[in-house]
């Protein structure tokens, strides 16, 4: 979501994109202006190596992640790389049949960050994928889920 007063854009990230997880390197490269813990509402499922969240209105479980804020100047390059990495080929909020072939859709959601409700971009499960995954991440916290998974393998 773009803040027109200060010319910045916010994005909500979760899972392997979070700080300290395997795919945070891109954000370090772009040096976000803000990088804070945040909570959204939805449902998180495990796809094995990474999570996917349904962040649309049908789910209301907490999803723990982070909000990053970038300058308007950097945003087009970040968006291009994120859409590529998240396999979001076309922006289609209501593509119920997933004709776009997206792995994720990019939408604007409400997020709580820094104690206030804000709007931010986020990558969410396409409508066509709803109800097709069995491994729900009950507490909506990918880091905790991964820690529990690692502990059970010891």
Instruction: For the chain, give the mean pLDDT.
Output: 82
Domain that holds residue 136: 2-152
pLDDT (average), residues 15-25: 86
The neighbouring-strand residues paired with 3 are: 8
Helices (H), 60-127: 75-85
The Cα–Cα gap between 110 and 128 comes to: 22
pLDDT of residue 8: 85
Rounded-to-integer distance, Cα 111 and Cα 57, Å: 13
Q: What is the CATH number of the domain that holds 138?
A: 3.10.490.10
Q: How many domains does the chain have?
A: 1
What is the number of other CB atoms lying within 10 angstroms of the CB of residue 62? 14
**Residue 141: φ, ψ to 5°:** -120, 100
Nearest partner of 121 among 99, 105, 140, 103, judged by Cα? 105
| CA angle (14 as vertex; 8, 16 as ends), nearest 5 | 115
For 21-28, what is the mean pLDDT? 81
Write down the pLDDT at residue 54.
86
């Amino acid at each position: 979501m773009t803040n027109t007063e200060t010319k910045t854009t916010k994005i909500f990230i979760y899972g392997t994109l979070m700080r300290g997880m395997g795919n945070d390197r891109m954000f370090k490269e772009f040096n976000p202006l803000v990088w804070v813990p945040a909570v959204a509402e939805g449902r998180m499922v495990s796809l094995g190596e990474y999570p996917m969240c349904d962040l649309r209105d049908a789910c209301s479980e907490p999803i723990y992640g982070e909000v990053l804020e970038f300058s308007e100047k950097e945003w087009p390059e970040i968006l291009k790389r994120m859409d590529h990495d998240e396999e979001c080929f076309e922006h289609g909020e209501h593509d119920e049949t997933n004709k776009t072939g997206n792995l994720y859709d990019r939408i604007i959601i409400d997020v709580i960050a820094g104690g206030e409700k804000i709007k931010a971009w986020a990558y969410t499960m396409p409508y066509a994928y709803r109800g097709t995954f069995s491994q729900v991440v009950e507490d909506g916290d990918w880091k905790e889920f991964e820690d529990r998974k690692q502990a059970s393998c010891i």
